Protein backbone atom coordinates (compact mmCIF):
# COMPACT_ATOMS: atom_id res chain seq x y z
CA UNK A 1 0.00 0.00 0.00
CA UNK A 2 1.67 3.20 -1.20
CA UNK A 3 0.65 6.64 0.03
CA UNK A 4 1.43 9.72 -2.03
CA UNK A 5 0.70 13.43 -1.85
CA UNK A 6 -1.79 12.96 -4.69
CA UNK A 7 -3.61 10.26 -2.72
CA UNK A 8 -3.74 12.43 0.39
CA UNK A 9 -5.08 15.45 -1.48
CA UNK A 10 -7.71 13.36 -3.21
CA UNK A 11 -8.84 11.93 0.12
CA UNK A 12 -9.01 15.38 1.68
CA UNK A 13 -11.13 16.57 -1.24
CA UNK A 14 -13.48 13.63 -0.76
CA UNK A 15 -13.74 14.20 2.99
CA UNK A 16 -14.63 17.85 2.53
CA UNK A 17 -17.96 16.79 1.08
CA UNK A 18 -19.78 15.74 4.29
CA UNK A 19 -23.23 17.04 3.63
CA UNK A 20 -24.96 20.40 3.63
CA UNK A 21 -23.43 22.87 6.05
CA UNK A 22 -25.68 24.56 8.56
CA UNK A 23 -26.62 28.07 7.39
CA UNK A 24 -24.50 30.65 9.17
CA UNK A 25 -22.08 28.06 10.61
CA UNK A 26 -19.80 27.42 7.64
CA UNK A 27 -16.61 28.23 9.55
CA UNK A 28 -17.39 25.85 12.42
CA UNK A 29 -18.45 23.12 10.00
CA UNK A 30 -15.20 23.51 8.08
CA UNK A 31 -13.20 23.17 11.29
CA UNK A 32 -14.97 19.93 12.16
CA UNK A 33 -14.47 18.56 8.64
CA UNK A 34 -10.79 19.43 8.62
CA UNK A 35 -10.28 17.71 11.98
CA UNK A 36 -12.15 14.59 10.79
CA UNK A 37 -10.10 14.59 7.59
CA UNK A 38 -6.87 14.80 9.58
CA UNK A 39 -7.85 11.90 11.87
CA UNK A 40 -8.93 9.74 8.95
CA UNK A 41 -5.69 10.40 7.08
CA UNK A 42 -3.67 9.54 10.17
CA UNK A 43 -5.62 6.31 10.68
CA UNK A 44 -5.29 5.27 7.05
CA UNK A 45 -1.58 6.14 7.00
CA UNK A 46 -0.91 4.09 10.16
CA UNK A 47 -2.87 1.16 8.71
CA UNK A 48 -0.89 1.45 5.47
CA UNK A 49 2.42 1.21 7.36
CA UNK A 50 1.14 -1.77 9.33
CA UNK A 51 0.06 -3.62 6.18
CA UNK A 52 3.46 -3.04 4.57
CA UNK A 53 5.27 -4.44 7.61
CA UNK A 54 2.92 -7.41 7.92
CA UNK A 55 3.43 -8.35 4.27
CA UNK A 56 7.18 -8.26 4.90
CA UNK A 57 7.32 -10.08 8.24
CA UNK A 58 4.05 -11.96 8.64
CA UNK A 59 2.97 -12.72 12.20
CA UNK A 60 6.38 -11.61 13.50
CA UNK A 61 5.08 -8.07 12.97
CA UNK A 62 2.74 -8.55 15.93
CA UNK A 63 5.59 -7.61 18.28
CA UNK A 64 5.82 -4.20 16.63
CA UNK A 65 2.03 -3.72 16.69
CA UNK A 66 1.96 -4.54 20.41
CA UNK A 67 4.68 -1.95 21.05
CA UNK A 68 3.52 1.17 22.94
CA UNK A 69 5.41 3.48 20.58
CA UNK A 70 6.22 2.23 17.08
CA UNK A 71 2.67 1.75 15.80
CA UNK A 72 0.84 4.11 18.14
CA UNK A 73 -0.03 7.65 17.04
CA UNK A 74 -1.72 9.49 19.91
CA UNK A 75 -5.06 7.72 20.43
CA UNK A 76 -4.55 5.67 17.24
CA UNK A 77 -3.14 2.15 17.33
CA UNK A 78 -3.02 -1.02 15.24
CA UNK A 79 -4.89 -4.18 16.13
CA UNK A 80 -5.14 -7.53 14.35
CA UNK A 81 -8.05 -9.96 14.22
CA UNK A 82 -7.86 -13.46 12.76
CA UNK A 83 -10.59 -14.54 10.36
CA UNK A 84 -11.46 -17.13 13.02
CA UNK A 85 -12.44 -14.28 15.35
CA UNK A 86 -9.42 -14.43 17.66
CA UNK A 87 -7.68 -11.17 18.65
CA UNK A 88 -4.00 -11.54 17.73
CA UNK A 89 -2.36 -8.19 18.43
CA UNK A 90 -3.15 -4.70 19.71
CA UNK A 91 -1.29 -1.60 20.74
CA UNK A 92 -4.29 -0.18 22.60
CA UNK A 93 -7.02 -1.02 25.09
CA UNK A 94 -8.03 -4.15 23.16
CA UNK A 95 -4.67 -5.71 24.13
CA UNK A 96 -6.56 -7.33 27.02
CA UNK A 97 -8.44 -9.37 24.40
CA UNK A 98 -5.35 -10.91 22.74
CA UNK A 99 -5.75 -14.67 22.45
CA UNK A 100 -9.51 -14.55 22.99
CA UNK A 101 -12.27 -15.15 20.48
CA UNK A 102 -14.26 -11.93 20.25
CA UNK A 103 -16.81 -12.73 17.55
CA UNK A 104 -19.79 -12.35 19.88
CA UNK A 105 -18.48 -9.30 21.74
CA UNK A 106 -20.71 -6.20 21.55
CA UNK A 107 -20.05 -2.53 22.12
CA UNK A 108 -21.79 -0.27 24.65
CA UNK A 109 -24.80 0.02 22.33
CA UNK A 110 -25.09 -3.68 21.57
CA UNK A 111 -23.40 -3.64 18.15
CA UNK A 112 -21.55 -6.90 17.33
CA UNK A 113 -18.84 -4.92 15.55
CA UNK A 114 -16.20 -7.67 15.40
CA UNK A 115 -18.75 -9.98 13.78
CA UNK A 116 -19.77 -7.20 11.39
CA UNK A 117 -16.15 -6.65 10.38
CA UNK A 118 -15.58 -10.35 9.76
CA UNK A 119 -18.72 -10.52 7.62
CA UNK A 120 -17.55 -7.55 5.54
CA UNK A 121 -14.12 -9.16 5.18
CA UNK A 122 -15.75 -12.21 3.58
CA UNK A 123 -16.82 -10.02 0.67
CA UNK A 124 -13.98 -7.52 0.45
CA UNK A 125 -10.31 -7.25 1.44
CA UNK A 126 -10.90 -3.80 2.96
CA UNK A 127 -13.70 -1.93 4.62
CA UNK A 128 -14.90 0.18 7.51
CA UNK A 129 -17.00 -0.38 10.65
CA UNK A 130 -18.42 2.06 13.21
CA UNK A 131 -19.07 1.32 16.88
CA UNK A 132 -18.54 2.62 20.45
CA UNK A 133 -15.23 1.92 22.18
CA UNK A 134 -13.43 3.15 25.29
CA UNK A 135 -11.34 6.23 24.58
CA UNK A 136 -8.36 5.98 26.92
CA UNK A 137 -7.89 9.77 26.85
CA UNK A 138 -11.43 10.54 28.05
CA UNK A 139 -12.17 7.25 29.84
CA UNK A 140 -15.58 7.04 28.17
CA UNK A 141 -17.05 5.00 25.30
CA UNK A 142 -17.08 7.15 22.15
CA UNK A 143 -18.00 6.70 18.53
CA UNK A 144 -15.16 5.09 16.61
CA UNK A 145 -14.64 4.57 12.89
CA UNK A 146 -12.24 1.73 12.07
CA UNK A 147 -10.66 0.86 8.74
CA UNK A 148 -9.39 -2.64 8.07
CA UNK A 149 -7.38 -4.47 5.43
CA UNK A 150 -7.38 -8.26 5.07
CA UNK A 151 -4.04 -9.92 4.40
CA UNK A 152 -4.50 -13.66 4.13
CA UNK A 153 -6.30 -14.77 7.29
CA UNK A 154 -5.47 -11.59 9.20
CA UNK A 155 -7.51 -8.39 9.46
CA UNK A 156 -5.31 -5.40 10.29
CA UNK A 157 -7.23 -2.43 11.65
CA UNK A 158 -6.84 1.17 12.85
CA UNK A 159 -9.68 3.39 14.08
CA UNK A 160 -10.23 6.96 15.20
CA UNK A 161 -12.72 8.54 17.59
CA UNK A 162 -15.50 10.99 16.73
CA UNK A 163 -16.43 12.61 20.06
CA UNK A 164 -18.08 15.61 18.40
CA UNK A 165 -21.30 15.47 16.45
CA UNK A 166 -21.54 17.30 13.12
CA UNK A 167 -23.63 20.37 12.25
CA UNK A 168 -25.82 18.12 10.10
CA UNK A 169 -26.51 15.82 13.07
CA UNK A 170 -27.45 18.79 15.24
CA UNK A 171 -29.80 20.12 12.56
CA UNK A 172 -31.45 16.72 12.18
CA UNK A 173 -31.99 16.37 15.93
CA UNK A 174 -33.45 19.88 16.17
CA UNK A 175 -35.90 19.17 13.35
CA UNK A 176 -36.93 15.95 15.08
CA UNK A 177 -37.38 17.77 18.40
CA UNK A 178 -39.47 20.51 16.78
CA UNK A 179 -41.73 17.89 15.21
CA UNK A 180 -42.14 16.15 18.56
CA UNK A 181 -43.06 19.43 20.30
CA UNK A 182 -45.62 20.23 17.65
CA UNK A 183 -47.19 16.77 17.90
CA UNK A 184 -47.32 16.34 21.69
CA UNK A 185 -45.50 18.92 23.87
CA UNK A 186 -45.92 17.05 27.15
CA UNK A 187 -44.52 13.80 25.78
CA UNK A 188 -41.73 15.63 23.96
CA UNK A 189 -40.57 17.40 27.12
CA UNK A 190 -40.60 14.12 29.02
CA UNK A 191 -38.53 12.46 26.29
CA UNK A 192 -36.03 15.34 26.13
CA UNK A 193 -35.44 14.99 29.90
CA UNK A 194 -35.19 11.19 29.77
CA UNK A 195 -31.71 9.72 29.26
CA UNK A 196 -33.38 6.92 27.30
CA UNK A 197 -35.85 9.19 25.51
CA UNK A 198 -34.00 9.08 22.19
CA UNK A 199 -32.75 12.67 22.21
CA UNK A 200 -29.21 12.23 23.49
CA UNK A 201 -26.65 11.32 20.84
CA UNK A 202 -22.95 11.61 21.65
CA UNK A 203 -22.54 15.30 22.65
CA UNK A 204 -25.95 16.34 21.29
CA UNK A 205 -29.03 16.94 23.44
CA UNK A 206 -32.18 19.05 23.40
CA UNK A 207 -33.08 21.91 25.73
CA UNK A 208 -36.34 23.88 25.95
CA UNK A 209 -36.93 27.29 27.52
CA UNK A 210 -40.25 29.09 27.98
CA UNK A 211 -40.38 32.36 26.05
CA UNK A 212 -42.75 33.91 28.58
CA UNK A 213 -40.63 33.42 31.71
CA UNK A 214 -37.19 32.24 30.49
CA UNK A 215 -37.38 29.08 32.60
CA UNK A 216 -36.05 25.72 31.45
CA UNK A 217 -38.73 23.20 30.54
CA UNK A 218 -36.22 20.52 29.54
CA UNK A 219 -32.48 19.88 29.40
CA UNK A 220 -31.07 16.59 28.14
CA UNK A 221 -27.89 16.42 30.25
CA UNK A 222 -28.37 18.91 33.11
CA UNK A 223 -31.64 17.97 34.72
CA UNK A 224 -30.94 20.36 37.65
CA UNK A 225 -31.57 23.27 35.27
CA UNK A 226 -35.21 22.28 34.66
CA UNK A 227 -37.42 24.88 36.33
CA UNK A 228 -34.60 27.39 36.86
CA UNK A 229 -34.39 30.90 35.43
CA UNK A 230 -32.46 30.82 32.15
CA UNK A 231 -32.07 34.61 32.17
CA UNK A 232 -29.46 34.25 34.92
CA UNK A 233 -27.44 31.64 33.03
CA UNK A 234 -24.16 32.78 31.51
CA UNK A 235 -21.30 30.97 29.82
CA UNK A 236 -17.80 30.99 31.42
CA UNK A 237 -17.11 34.29 29.65
CA UNK A 238 -20.17 35.93 31.18
CA UNK A 239 -22.33 35.80 28.03
CA UNK A 240 -26.07 35.68 28.90
CA UNK A 241 -26.81 32.94 26.40
CA UNK A 242 -30.50 32.26 27.08
CA UNK A 243 -31.34 35.97 27.24
CA UNK A 244 -29.63 36.52 23.88
CA UNK A 245 -31.43 33.54 22.30
CA UNK A 246 -34.83 34.79 23.46
CA UNK A 247 -34.03 38.29 22.22
CA UNK A 248 -33.21 36.86 18.78
CA UNK A 249 -36.59 35.11 18.64
CA UNK A 250 -38.55 38.30 19.35
CA UNK A 251 -38.81 39.12 15.66
CA UNK A 252 -38.05 35.78 13.98
CA UNK A 253 -38.80 32.08 14.39
CA UNK A 254 -35.27 30.68 14.40
CA UNK A 255 -31.72 31.69 15.25
CA UNK A 256 -28.13 30.66 16.02
CA UNK A 257 -25.68 31.63 18.77
CA UNK A 258 -22.00 30.99 19.50
CA UNK A 259 -20.66 30.70 23.05
CA UNK A 260 -18.51 28.38 25.18
CA UNK A 261 -19.94 25.47 27.16
CA UNK A 262 -18.91 22.18 28.73
CA UNK A 263 -18.92 19.23 26.33
CA UNK A 264 -20.59 16.28 28.12
CA UNK A 265 -18.41 13.81 26.19
CA UNK A 266 -14.93 15.35 26.44
CA UNK A 267 -15.80 17.09 29.75
CA UNK A 268 -13.94 20.14 28.50
CA UNK A 269 -15.21 23.70 28.00
CA UNK A 270 -15.35 24.16 24.23
CA UNK A 271 -16.75 26.49 21.58
CA UNK A 272 -20.39 25.68 20.93
CA UNK A 273 -22.75 26.70 18.13
CA UNK A 274 -26.42 26.32 18.99
CA UNK A 275 -29.37 26.26 16.59
CA UNK A 276 -32.78 27.11 18.05
CA UNK A 277 -36.39 27.45 16.95
CA UNK A 278 -39.57 29.05 18.26
CA UNK A 279 -42.25 26.40 18.78
CA UNK A 280 -45.44 27.80 20.26
CA UNK A 281 -44.37 29.61 23.40
CA UNK A 282 -41.06 27.78 23.72
CA UNK A 283 -37.49 28.01 22.52
CA UNK A 284 -36.19 24.59 21.40
CA UNK A 285 -32.43 24.28 20.92
CA UNK A 286 -29.68 21.84 19.96
CA UNK A 287 -25.99 22.75 19.76
CA UNK A 288 -22.79 21.17 18.49
CA UNK A 289 -19.20 21.67 19.58
CA UNK A 290 -16.40 22.96 17.36
CA UNK A 291 -12.85 21.92 18.18
Close Cβ partners of 239 (under 8 Å, ≥ 6 residues apart): 259, 260
Choose among 165, 7, 144: nearest CA to 79.
144
User: How would residue 138 be classed by pLDDT, with cut points 50, 70 and 90?
Assistant: low
Gyration radius of the chain's alpha carbons: 22
CA distance 189 to 195: 12
The CA-atom distances, in angstroms, between 65 and each of 127, 173, 180, 195, 197 are 20, 40, 48, 38, 41
Q: Which of residues 138, 161, 184 is at a domain's end?
A: 161
Do 192 and 96 share a domain, yes or no?
no
> pLDDT, tens digit, for every residue of 60-76?
999 999 998 889 998 89
Choose among 206, 255, 199: nearest CA to 226.
206
Do 39 and 147 share a domain, yes or no?
yes
Residue 30 is part of which domain span?
A: 5-161
Do 155 and 271 share a domain, yes or no?
no
Task: Please give the residue that has the higher pLDDT: either 21 or 190.
Answer: 190
Do 198 and 235 share a domain, yes or no?
yes
Does residue 138 contact residue 162 with C-beta atoms inside 8 Å?
no
Do 46 and 113 share a domain, yes or no?
yes
CATH label of the domain that carries residue 110: 3.30.450.20
Do 196 and 153 share a domain, yes or no?
no
Do 249 and 135 share a domain, yes or no?
no
Do 12 and 62 share a domain, yes or no?
yes
In the 3-class helix/strand/coil scheme, how is 220-275 assigned residue by residue? CCCHHHCCCEHHHCCCCCCCCHHHHHHHHCCCCCEEEEEEEEECCCCCCEEEEEEE
- The Cβ-side half-sphere exposure at 49, using a 13 Å CA radius, reads 15
CA distance 59 to 171: 46
Residue 176: its pLDDT value, please?
A: 97
Does residue 39 contact residue 15 with C-beta atoms inside 8 Å?
no
Is the pTM here over 0.85, yes or no? Answer: no
Do 129 and 174 share a domain, yes or no?
no
> pLDDT, tens digit, for every residue of 239-287?
999 999 999 999 999 999 999 999 887 778 999 999 999 999 999 999 9
Q: Which of residues 161, 190, 221 is at a domain's end?
A: 161
> pLDDT, tens digit, for every residue of 45-57?
999 999 999 999 9
Total tally of structural domains belonging to the chain: 2
Q: Which of residues 99, 132, 161 is at a domain's end?
A: 161
Mean pLDDT of the residues in the chain: 86
Choose among 140, 30, 21: nearest CA to 75.
140
Residue 3: its pLDDT value, please?
A: 40
Do 99 and 238 share a domain, yes or no?
no
3-state secondary structure of 16: coil
3-state secondary structure of 204: strand
Do 18 and 114 share a domain, yes or no?
yes
Residue 37: its pLDDT value, please?
A: 61
Q: What's the N-to-C CA distance of the chain in angstroms?
A: 31
Do 250 and 154 share a domain, yes or no?
no
Amino acid sequence: MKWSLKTGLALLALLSVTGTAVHGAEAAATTLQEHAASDELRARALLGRAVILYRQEGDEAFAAFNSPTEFVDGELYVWVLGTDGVMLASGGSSAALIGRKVTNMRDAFGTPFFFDMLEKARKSDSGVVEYRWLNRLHHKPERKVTYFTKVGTRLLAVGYYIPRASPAQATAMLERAVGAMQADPAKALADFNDLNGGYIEDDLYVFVVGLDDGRFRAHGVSSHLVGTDGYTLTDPNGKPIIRQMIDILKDRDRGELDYVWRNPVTRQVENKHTLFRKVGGNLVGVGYYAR
